[in-house]
Protein backbone atom coordinates (compact mmCIF):
# COMPACT_ATOMS: atom_id res chain seq x y z
CA UNK A 1 0.00 0.00 0.00
CA UNK A 2 1.42 3.36 -0.99
CA UNK A 3 2.09 6.14 1.47
CA UNK A 4 -0.60 8.29 -0.14
CA UNK A 5 -3.19 5.51 0.20
CA UNK A 6 -2.24 5.02 3.86
CA UNK A 7 -2.64 8.76 4.49
CA UNK A 8 -5.97 8.75 2.67
CA UNK A 9 -7.36 5.83 4.70
CA UNK A 10 -6.10 7.10 8.04
CA UNK A 11 -7.54 10.55 7.33
CA UNK A 12 -10.87 8.94 6.41
CA UNK A 13 -10.74 6.84 9.59
CA UNK A 14 -10.07 9.94 11.69
CA UNK A 15 -12.98 11.77 10.07
CA UNK A 16 -15.28 8.79 10.69
CA UNK A 17 -14.28 8.70 14.38
CA UNK A 18 -14.68 12.49 14.73
CA UNK A 19 -18.10 12.45 13.08
CA UNK A 20 -19.15 9.56 15.30
CA UNK A 21 -18.11 11.48 18.44
CA UNK A 22 -19.99 14.57 17.26
CA UNK A 23 -23.11 12.49 16.65
CA UNK A 24 -22.72 10.90 20.09
CA UNK A 25 -22.62 14.35 21.68
CA UNK A 26 -26.05 15.30 20.34
CA UNK A 27 -27.74 11.89 20.60
CA UNK A 28 -29.48 12.68 23.93
CA UNK A 29 -31.16 15.82 22.57
CA UNK A 30 -32.39 13.87 19.54
CA UNK A 31 -33.82 11.20 21.85
CA UNK A 32 -35.64 14.01 23.68
CA UNK A 33 -37.20 15.29 20.45
CA UNK A 34 -38.15 11.93 18.95
CA UNK A 35 -37.17 8.45 20.11
CA UNK A 36 -36.65 7.16 16.56
CA UNK A 37 -34.18 9.97 15.85
CA UNK A 38 -32.20 9.07 18.96
CA UNK A 39 -32.09 5.46 17.80
CA UNK A 40 -30.91 6.58 14.35
CA UNK A 41 -28.15 8.60 16.02
CA UNK A 42 -27.05 5.60 18.11
CA UNK A 43 -26.78 3.55 14.91
CA UNK A 44 -24.90 6.40 13.23
CA UNK A 45 -22.36 6.43 16.05
CA UNK A 46 -21.95 2.64 15.90
CA UNK A 47 -21.60 2.55 12.11
CA UNK A 48 -19.19 5.51 11.96
CA UNK A 49 -17.04 3.95 14.69
CA UNK A 50 -17.07 0.60 12.89
CA UNK A 51 -16.08 2.32 9.64
CA UNK A 52 -13.20 4.09 11.40
CA UNK A 53 -12.01 0.82 12.92
CA UNK A 54 -12.28 -1.04 9.60
CA UNK A 55 -10.31 1.63 7.75
CA UNK A 56 -7.64 1.68 10.47
CA UNK A 57 -7.47 -2.12 10.47
CA UNK A 58 -7.06 -2.03 6.70
CA UNK A 59 -3.83 -0.07 7.22
CA UNK A 60 -2.39 -1.72 10.34
CA UNK A 61 -4.17 -5.08 10.36
CA UNK A 62 -3.08 -8.45 9.16
CA UNK A 63 -2.76 -8.82 5.38
CA UNK A 64 -4.49 -12.17 5.84
CA UNK A 65 -7.74 -10.31 6.62
CA UNK A 66 -7.98 -7.52 4.05
CA UNK A 67 -10.60 -4.80 4.24
CA UNK A 68 -11.46 -4.31 0.63
CA UNK A 69 -13.77 -2.24 -1.48
CA UNK A 70 -16.80 -3.53 0.41
CA UNK A 71 -15.71 -1.50 3.44
CA UNK A 72 -15.43 1.65 1.38
CA UNK A 73 -18.72 1.05 -0.42
CA UNK A 74 -20.45 0.53 2.93
CA UNK A 75 -18.88 3.77 4.14
CA UNK A 76 -20.01 5.62 1.03
CA UNK A 77 -23.60 4.42 1.52
CA UNK A 78 -23.52 5.30 5.22
CA UNK A 79 -22.16 8.81 4.69
CA UNK A 80 -24.48 9.48 1.74
CA UNK A 81 -27.38 8.39 3.96
CA UNK A 82 -26.28 10.73 6.76
CA UNK A 83 -26.04 13.64 4.33
CA UNK A 84 -29.41 12.83 2.75
CA UNK A 85 -31.05 12.43 6.17
CA UNK A 86 -29.81 15.80 7.37
CA UNK A 87 -31.02 17.62 4.29
CA UNK A 88 -34.35 15.76 4.34
CA UNK A 89 -35.01 16.74 7.95
CA UNK A 90 -34.31 20.39 7.12
CA UNK A 91 -36.32 20.54 3.90
CA UNK A 92 -39.25 18.11 3.85
CA UNK A 93 -39.13 17.44 7.60
CA UNK A 94 -39.45 14.34 9.77
CA UNK A 95 -42.29 13.63 12.22
CA UNK A 96 -41.62 15.00 15.71
CA UNK A 97 -38.47 16.85 14.69
CA UNK A 98 -38.06 20.56 14.25
CA UNK A 99 -34.51 20.82 12.97
CA UNK A 100 -32.82 24.00 11.87
CA UNK A 101 -29.74 24.76 9.78
CA UNK A 102 -27.29 25.07 12.67
CA UNK A 103 -23.54 25.53 12.66
CA UNK A 104 -23.01 22.21 14.45
CA UNK A 105 -25.02 20.24 11.90
CA UNK A 106 -23.40 21.99 8.97
CA UNK A 107 -19.95 21.30 10.44
CA UNK A 108 -20.72 17.57 10.61
CA UNK A 109 -21.97 17.70 7.03
CA UNK A 110 -18.65 19.26 6.00
CA UNK A 111 -16.82 16.39 7.70
CA UNK A 112 -19.09 13.87 6.00
CA UNK A 113 -18.65 15.48 2.58
CA UNK A 114 -14.86 15.29 2.93
CA UNK A 115 -15.12 11.70 4.18
CA UNK A 116 -17.27 10.83 1.18
CA UNK A 117 -14.70 12.33 -1.21
CA UNK A 118 -11.88 10.35 0.45
CA UNK A 119 -13.81 7.07 0.33
CA UNK A 120 -14.65 7.55 -3.34
CA UNK A 121 -11.02 8.46 -4.10
CA UNK A 122 -9.86 5.32 -2.28
CA UNK A 123 -12.11 3.16 -4.47
CA UNK A 124 -9.74 3.83 -7.37
CA UNK A 125 -7.39 1.32 -5.79
CA UNK A 126 -3.97 0.51 -7.08
CA UNK A 127 -4.32 -0.41 -10.71
CA UNK A 128 -1.69 -2.58 -12.28
CA UNK A 129 0.22 -1.28 -15.24
CA UNK A 130 0.70 -4.02 -17.85
CA UNK A 131 4.13 -5.56 -17.50
CA UNK A 132 4.72 -4.14 -14.02
CA UNK A 133 3.87 -7.24 -12.00
CA UNK A 134 6.14 -7.97 -9.07
CA UNK A 135 6.66 -11.28 -7.37
pLDDT tens digits, one per residue of 75-131: 999 999 999 999 998 888 888 777 777 889 999 999 999 999 999 998 876 444 444
The CA angle 25-27-31, to the nearest 5 degrees, is 150
What pLDDT shows up at residue 60? 79
Residues 21 and 71: their CA atoms lie apart, in Å, by: 20
Say what the alpha-carbon torsion angle 26, 30, 33, 36 is, to the nearest 10 degrees. Answer: -170
133 pLDDT above the threshold of 70: no
* Phi/psi at 134 (5° precision): -110, 155
pLDDT tens-digit series, residues 28-84: 998 998 899 999 999 999 999 999 999 988 877 766 555 678 888 999 999 999 999
Residue 88 is given by DSSP the state: H
Nearest to 15 by CA among 56, 43, 58: 56
| Domain-wise residue ranges, the chain | 3-123
Amino acid sequence: MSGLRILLRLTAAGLAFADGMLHAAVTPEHFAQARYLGILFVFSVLFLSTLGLALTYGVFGSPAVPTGKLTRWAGILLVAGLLAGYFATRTIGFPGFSGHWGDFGLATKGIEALLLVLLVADLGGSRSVPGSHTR
